[in-house]
Chain A
């Protein structure tokens, strides 16, 4: 039903449905007036449905008659139809497990309840006189109808899934094992005393009545397809047990409490041998998953009672699954001799070891992380999830972040030491225009500018932004036609394989690169080669961060942006932050009305913080930029040379000739490899370059 068959793109959904699913159910969709099964067929399929209309004072619990789909208003019926249709459309890459389908049902119940409330509020004046009758409460009634129609329609698929989904198969196996265990328990001579039942009634007489009075109720319970009505029948089983005990009791009064109900229910399940074929575990899971909780709105007592009997049911199954011969004080030797020899191993298997029903939940928990990728988009959309992280969950994020910071600091401190000697930068006048928000970007810019001035790069640099050095590969293709000046660069990577889960990060980083470059152009008007180097350097840094991604799964700025960007997109703000190709056409980068996004980014974002390349920034002009660079130099000097040298640095020479003394030919540029592709020896060489430059500069100073 929910499996995706091969489809043709050209097919309309209806056509797909028609060809994908069994024809006997598809006709339901054909006619609006007959979308749901007819009331007659409902009655046929569900023995729980009686012929009498309930009394107006009846409660849901006691009601047998359930209203049919004809009582569902057209607008609500249409909503139900849409949901049924959506369930049948081939839209999933793999079959859904039953518990996943249940999640869809629960979402629909919530949605339907909202629509029901809207509808009933609008109709309230008309139906007010009916509201004192619980099942005449439209909201309650409609919710019950919808639960019933849906579960009726998909009952077989939900109760007995045949798609081979592992978790469903696991449940089926557990259910089958439970049935076998129940059969073995039935073969034992279990008495009241084995279950701590203290009743002054004739046990044999009670047993004789089970088949005639309790079994029919349980058969109805099994045959019913609505979870809520199943609970109703379970409640009636309790009531019938109560009634039977009272009738058989030698005393006039019996306190029927849980001390009695629970063991008696267990006793009944053991003694009614037919129940082993009733798939009780599956029934339990079905009720739990597909029950529409909104049916009980305003009927808390009834809800409580139904939940109580359901808990009794759960406790009975749990006990039966886990019980062993020892628990029942039954001798293994005596009981096993009655079992055929070929079945003895199985007998021992089931009656000396517990079946753990809770394992279903554990299995679901195990596979949820596996399933989550398919749900990841929606999960990641919710940026609030990030705020839900416990402090301990932040630790790996923090450490990964620190790792990135350390590397970037090591690199930038080296480079800043070098550019501290670049005279032409220092000759620029200062300005009072200082925006602390842009500090990180300024640092990035100063690093880029410094490298531009110190290292000359081959003109073919642009094409060398490799897929590995730039996270901006596969998804950049989405932006190729935007007219950006980076289009050509990115197009050189289009042949690279997609990185799959890196999708979000790739997009964001690539866009960052674009902005970095274009903004740099506009601000500094630097020579072409310098631009290229900025691009290369930035992409290298991006590569560094990409290399850290496996460690910091969600911790890098990129992955954080994965959380943020789609959500922002949904809220219509994404274009304000990262998307590069709108930079020329709007003022989104300067939009300060979305502070949360910037705030939520990792600190590593400062390296590529595109939100900072805004219009304000470009207005600052070169002077403002260089003023901030001046400030940065102070820090760099202290870091790289020690505070004792600060005076010296402040009084540094402005002579550009100093820099010229450095023999560039002695610097190995490693074939312009991206940073992350450098080997250890090359990194060592880089350090030697650094030492050389420093020594040259120090020499000049001295």
Chain B
């Protein structure tokens, strides 16, 4: 689901890569709000997309020459649809597993998703454990140490954000972008291009055989 291009722009090569990012977490932990804050930099304004906050894209510049575009897929957080999530995180290169720092059960659900991802998602998927509702610090039920320790144990990224205030939301996505295998994707793009050229030149031997 990623497409990458590197174009010459004057003397410096502009690098662009697109990655699929999937949102996982219990219902009402604020998955969509985080993404909406990241994409629209707003919290409650009306949406333009025809499919709401379920599918959004946003680019982020990680350095002067490199732009990463996130294609963000939301998933259903209800327990009964849990088994369907794998259809959504198919071919995802990044996952944002969100929990609500004011709901203890939400971290347990997040742990479940992380284990699922590690078992079934693409190898090398960048997983970030994100605690939302940082603005409700006084209602916090899950300590930062506990969540951070869990993330460290599994080698995950960890962040605490507030979709409502926007605090650390962009930083979170930028950190993910920096961890994504940009060079590898650009290289794959190059290979795809070369293959296309080869296809042009190669006689369609297999096609003939199969048709026989």
When distances are taken between beta carbons in the complex, the residues of chain B under 8 Å from A631 are none
A92, A256, A263, A322: the one contacting B51 at CB < 8 Å is: A256
Closest to A245 in B: B52
Closest to A255 in B: B32
Q: Is B205 an interface residue (CB 8 A)?
A: yes
List B residues 116-151 near A (Cβ within 8 Å).
none
A111, A256, A375, A382: the one contacting B204 at CB < 8 Å is: A111
A300, A311, A315: the one contacting B81 at CB < 8 Å is: A315
Q: Is B44 an interface residue (CB 8 A)?
A: yes
Q: Is A91 an interface residue (CB 8 A)?
A: yes
* Complex CA distance for A118 and B73, rounded to whole angstroms: 34
Cβ-defined contact, A259 with B27, below 8 A: yes
Given contacts A257-B74, A570-B205, contact A375 B210 (CB under 8 A): yes
Interface of chain A, main secondary structure: helix
When distances are taken between beta carbons in the complex, the residues of chain A under 8 Å from B51 are 235, 238-239, 242, 256, 261, 305, 308-309
Cβ-defined contact, B52 with A257, below 8 A: yes
* Complex CA distance for A198 and B80, rounded to whole angstroms: 14
Q: Is A314 an interface residue (CB 8 A)?
A: yes
Interface of chain B, main secondary structure: mixed
A235, A257, A261: the one contacting B31 at CB < 8 Å is: A257
List B residues 4-47 near A (Cβ within 8 Å).
18, 20, 27-28, 31-33, 36, 44, 46-47
Q: Is A166 an interface residue (CB 8 A)?
A: no
- Size bracket of the B interface: 35 or more
Cβ-defined contact, A381 with B33, below 8 A: no
* Complex CA distance for A179 and B184, rounded to whole angstroms: 45
Closest to B80 in A: A196
Q: How near does chain B come to A230, taking the closest CB pair, in angstroms?
A: 16
Cβ-defined contact, A318 with B84, below 8 A: yes
Cβ-defined contact, A378 with B206, below 8 A: yes
* Complex CA distance for A91 and B211, rounded to whole angstroms: 7
Cβ-defined contact, A239 with B50, below 8 A: yes
Q: Is B54 an interface residue (CB 8 A)?
A: yes
When distances are taken between beta carbons in the complex, the residues of chain B under 8 Å from A319 are 81, 84
List B residues 174-212 near A (Cβ within 8 Å).
196, 199-200, 204-207, 209-212
When distances are taken between beta carbons in the complex, the residues of chain A under 8 Å from B1 are 304, 307
Q: Is B71 an interface residue (CB 8 A)?
A: yes
Q: Is A395 an interface residue (CB 8 A)?
A: no
Q: How near does chain B come to A530, taking the closest CB pair, in angstroms?
A: 43
When distances are taken between beta carbons in the complex, the residues of chain B under 8 Å from A92 are 211
A114, A263, A315: the one contacting B87 at CB < 8 Å is: A315
List A residues 172-227 near B (Cβ within 8 Å).
195-196, 198
Q: Is A366 an interface residue (CB 8 A)?
A: no
List A residues 276-318 near B (Cβ within 8 Å).
300-301, 304-305, 307-309, 311-312, 314-315, 318
B27, B53, B57, B75: the one contacting A256 at CB < 8 Å is: B53
Given contacts A110-B199, A257-B31, contact A86 B71 (CB under 8 A): no
Q: Is B157 an interface residue (CB 8 A)?
A: no
Given contacts A257-B31, A300-B3, A304-B1, contact A314 B209 (CB under 8 A): no
Q: How near does chain A come to B149, taking the closest CB pair, in angstroms?
A: 29
When distances are taken between beta carbons in the complex, the residues of chain B under 8 Å from A318 are 84, 87
* Complex CA distance for A300 and B90, rounded to whole angstroms: 17
A104, A304, A315: the one contacting B55 at CB < 8 Å is: A304
- Can you list 24 A-B pairs, Cβ within 8 angstroms, ordered by A? A107-B204, A110-B199, A114-B200, A196-B78, A235-B51, A256-B47, A256-B54, A259-B78, A261-B51, A261-B76, A263-B76, A263-B78, A300-B71, A301-B57, A301-B71, A308-B55, A311-B88, A315-B88, A319-B81, A327-B80, A377-B209, A378-B205, A378-B206, A378-B210
Please name the 3 residue pairs, one residue from A and one from B, whose CB atoms are nearest each other, closest first: A256-B52, A378-B209, A239-B50
